[in-house]
């Protein structure tokens, strides 16, 4: 009898049980370190522009290339978590990431830089394999809480990447950012090798091409996945519009802040991300729609405050906290809702959903630097507010 192309992979032989707080925190830290690799470049765009002779209007391509290959990794690598031993898959990808980080850290030309960034983006999807693995290990009653903590690690990694990159660049140059990250990734490989359970799967019923085809079928069959993936695209477009272009007005006169000072604004975002970690618990209680609506309203309000950046850094800080709180709350709620749909296809659900995250991030990166070059910071803020308003309208129409 032929297997259903979506349900063809049996559930893991290991029973679902409670996941310890230590292992949950380790998942969160591993996700944070892995995802930070594709965001280190954001506060360094002006430095990379000068060193490699790339114009300001196109420097956002450094981030866009990373996000495009991240999307490819989501499509080609993350679904393997439903087919292969997840522990070996995670360890292997992280070891290859160490090599890619060393290539970027020693790049002598823009071509090598772009190639290294592409490989980093491709392999950074190990973050999503970790998220799906955590969801599999968690008991159903605590899955939202676990996902809230693990995905908080993702968002905190994205935000702290800017602070760490700024500090290391001021202390030892931009190359030290990637060399230090390579060392941290290697340490994390050792920790995960000891802590991750080695769940062996039953004999698989799908080939790799069938596995990829089933990813498309999931979108055709699951309305919640389609809606939440679209919301993901919009909120992370808004998120990327801010964080890709923020370095440009902050590093230019009259503010002329250092890399360390610019990176420190990521700490404000961490406060928002931590505050939103509770969103997973609200989703466990069936309050996902209400949480989404409130968060999207806050996202729109945040851009009104961010618009005062050149006049008030305090308004910028408050706006950043609101924006990151809103994005994280919607993101956690999205994942909590979609990962309950098909337990046997969690890696594919994660992959399909996160492709839209990558598209949104890439769109925000390239459009924000272009808009800034021609319309300034006010143009960027209008763009971010427009995308946020579109997300709120879409949610209201589909709830």
Tokens 């920790």 belong to which residue?
Answer: 191
Q: Which residues contact 134 (CB under 8 A, 6 or more apart)?
A: 19, 24, 27, 146, 147, 150
pLDDT at 183: 95
Query: Among 98-112, 260-274, 335-349, which range has the highest average pLDDT?
Result: 98-112
Please report, to the nearest 10 degrees, the dihedral formed by the alpha carbons of residues 180, 182, 184, 185 taken in order.
Answer: 160
Q: What is the mean pLDDT of the chain?
A: 84
Predicted local distance difference test score (pLDDT) of residue 36 = 92
pLDDT higher at 99 or 70: 99
Kindly list the structural domains of the chain, giving each domain's residue range(s) and its CATH number in brackets, ordered by start. Answer: 18-198 (1.20.1250.20), 206-398 (1.20.1250.20)
- What the block records as the tokens of 180 is 């230090």
User: Residue 40: pLDDT above 50?
Assistant: yes
How confident is the model over 59-68, as pLDDT tens digits? 777 877 887 8
Would you place residue 332 in the very low, low, confident or very high pLDDT band (cuts 50, 70, 90)? confident
Tokens representing residue 297 in the block: 């309203």
Token readout for 345 is 């296809």
Report whether 336 contacts 288 (CB < 8 A): yes
142: Cβ contacts below 8 Å, ≥ 6 apart: 18, 19, 284
Q: Which of 155-164, 183-192, 382-391 has the lowest mean pLDDT?
A: 155-164
Q: From 27, 273, 304, select the one nearest 152 (Cα to Cα).
A: 273
pLDDT at 131 over 60: yes
Contacts of 283 (CB under 8 A, 6+ apart): 144, 291, 332, 333, 336, 337
218-243, pLDDT tens digit by residue? Answer: 988 999 999 999 999 999 999 999 98
- Rounded mean pLDDT, 274-278: 69
Q: pLDDT at position 204, please? A: 54
Instruction: For residues 49-75, give the mean pLDDT.
Output: 80
Other beta carbons less than 10 A from residue 184's beta carbon? 17
Can you state the angle between helices 346-398 and 208-221, rounded to 10 degrees? 20
Buried b (16+ CB within 10 A) or exposed e, 80-111: bbbbbebbebbbebbebbbebbbbbbebeeee
Q: Taken in order 72, 76, 79, 85, is the CA torsion positive or negative?
A: negative
Percent of the chain with pLDDT over 70: 92
Predicted pLDDT of residue 276? 66
Lowest mean pLDDT segment, chosen from 29-38, 161-170, 363-372:
161-170
Q: 254-262: which pairs have CB atoms within 8 A and are 24 or more residues apart?
A: 254/310, 255/310, 255/313, 258/166, 258/170, 259/43, 259/44, 259/47, 259/165, 259/166, 259/167, 259/169, 259/170, 260/166, 260/167, 260/170, 261/166, 262/43, 262/162, 262/166
The per-residue pLDDT for 319 is 95
pLDDT given for residue 4 in this prediction: 44
Task: Write down the pLDDT at residue 340.
Answer: 81
Q: What is the mean pLDDT of residues 266-295?
A: 78
Contact predicate 153/27, CB 8 Å: yes
Angle at 68 between CA 67 and CA 73, to 5 degrees: 90
Which tokens go with 99? 């090599």
Distance CA 370, CA 372 (A): 5
Instruction: Specify the pLDDT at position 57.
Output: 66
pLDDT, tens only, 74-120? 888 988 888 888 888 999 999 999 999 999 999 888 888 889 999 99
pLDDT score of 383: 97
Distance CA 99, CA 182 (A): 8
Tell me which of 202 and 242 has the higher pLDDT. Answer: 242
pLDDT at 201: 58
């Amino acid at each position: 009898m032929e297997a259903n192309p979506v349900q063809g992979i049996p559930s893991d032989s290991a029973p679902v049980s409670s996941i310890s707080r230590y292992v949950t925190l380790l998942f969160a830290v591993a996700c944070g370190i892995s995802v930070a690799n594709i965001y280190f470049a954001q506060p360094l765009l002006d430095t990379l522009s000068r060193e490699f002779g790339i114009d300001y209007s196109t420097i956002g391509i450094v981030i866009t290339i990373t996000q495009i290959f991240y999307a490819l990794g989501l499509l080609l690598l993350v679904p393997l978590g439903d087919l292969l031993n997840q522990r070996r898959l995670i360890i292997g990808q992280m070891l290859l990431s160490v090599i890619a980080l060393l290539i970027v850290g020693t790049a002598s030309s823009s071509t090598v830089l772009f190639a290294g960034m592409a490989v980093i983006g491709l392999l950074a999807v190990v973050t999503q394999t970790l998220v799906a693995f955590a969801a599999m290990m968690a008991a159903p009653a605590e899955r939202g809480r676990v996902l809230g903590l693990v995905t908080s690690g993702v968002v905190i990694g994205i935000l702290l990447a800017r602070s760490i990159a700024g500090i290391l660049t001021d202390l030892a140059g931009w190359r030290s950012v990637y060399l230090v990250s390579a060392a941290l990734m290697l340490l994390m490989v050792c920790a995960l090798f000891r802590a991750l359970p080695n769940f062996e799967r039953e004999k698989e019923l799908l080939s790799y091409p069938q596995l990829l085809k089933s990813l498309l079928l999931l979108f055709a069959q699951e309305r919640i996945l389609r809606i939440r993936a679209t919301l993901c695209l919009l909120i992370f477009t808004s998120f990327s519009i801010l964080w890709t272009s923020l370095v440009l007005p902050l590093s230019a006169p009259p503010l002329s802040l250092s890399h360390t000072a610019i990176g420190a604004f990521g700490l404000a975002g961490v406060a928002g991300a931590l505050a939103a970690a509770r969103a997973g618990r609200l989703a466990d209680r069936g309050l996902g729609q209400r949480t989404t609506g409130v968060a999207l309203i806050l996202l729109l309000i945040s851009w009104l405050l961010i618009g005062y950046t050149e006049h008030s850094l305090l308004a910028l800080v408050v706006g950043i906290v609101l924006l990151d709180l809103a994005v994280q709350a919607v993101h956690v709620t999205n994942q909590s809702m979609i990962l309950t749909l098909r337990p046997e296809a969690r890696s594919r659900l994660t992959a399909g959903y996160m492709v839209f995250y990558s598209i949104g991030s890439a769109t925000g990166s390239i459009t924000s630097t272009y808009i800034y070059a021609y319309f300034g910071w006010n143009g960027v803020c209008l763009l971010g507010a427009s995308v946020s308003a579109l997300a709120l309208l879409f949610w209201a129409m589909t709830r």
